[in-house]
Structure formats: C-alpha cells, structure tokens
Amino acid sequence: MKLLISKWGNSLAVRLPADCIRAAGLREGDSVDAETTPAGMITLTPAKTFDKTAFLRRLRRLRGRMQVSEPVVEAMRERSRY
C-alpha cells in the first residue's frame, strides 16, 4: 500500500491506516520501534513495554528450578591460564 509523507511541524510524518493499526494491535499513545536497512527499507514493530511484576514473578519461578552447585566463578578461576 502506498502512503503519503506529509510535513508535521519541522518533521515528516506518515499517517497509518486504521486497518494497519488494528492488525498490529496498537492504540493511540502506544510506541513502535523503527528500524532501517542499508537498502532503505523501514520496519515498524510494536514496542514491548517492560512489566516489572511479570519479570519478577518469572524470575522467582526460574530460581526455584535452579540446582544449587559450586560457584561457576570458582571453577573458571581454577581453569584459568593467566
């Protein structure tokens, strides 16, 4: 689909059709990550927000599965060649 680039203040902007926004699951105020390739291709991806509560919950679950063993750092120091 072709989109028009328009002036918006001192910047340029592209207006995204509502169908594209709905398909991407975006709403007004959401953020997107923009990437460009050396060939000039532009990709917009919905930015993922950091959910601290979910992160800590997942970390607690993972820590519960970790086996207690001798510290890895000590093993690395024993094998060092410096």
What is the C-alpha separation between 23 and 11, in angstroms, rounded?
26
| pLDDT computed for residue 64 by the predictor | 79
Q: What CATH number corresponds to the domain at position 18?
A: 2.10.260.10
What are the residues whose beta carbons fall under 8 Å from the beta carbon of 49, sequence distance 6 or more? 31
Has residue 5 got a pLDDT over 80?
A: yes
What are the residues whose beta carbons fall under 8 Å from the beta carbon of 34, sequence distance 6 or more? 42, 43, 44
Has residue 7 got a pLDDT over 90?
A: yes
Structural domain range at position 66: 5-78
What is the number of structural domains in the chain?
A: 1
Residue 77 corresponds to which tokens in the numbers above? Answer: 């120091």
Residues 34/43, Cβ–Cβ less than 8 Å: yes
Please, which pLDDT band fits residue 75 given cuts at 50, 70 and 90?
confident
Span 16-39, pLDDT tens digits: 999 999 998 899 999 999 999 999
Q: Give the mean model confidence (pLDDT) for residues 52-64.
A: 88
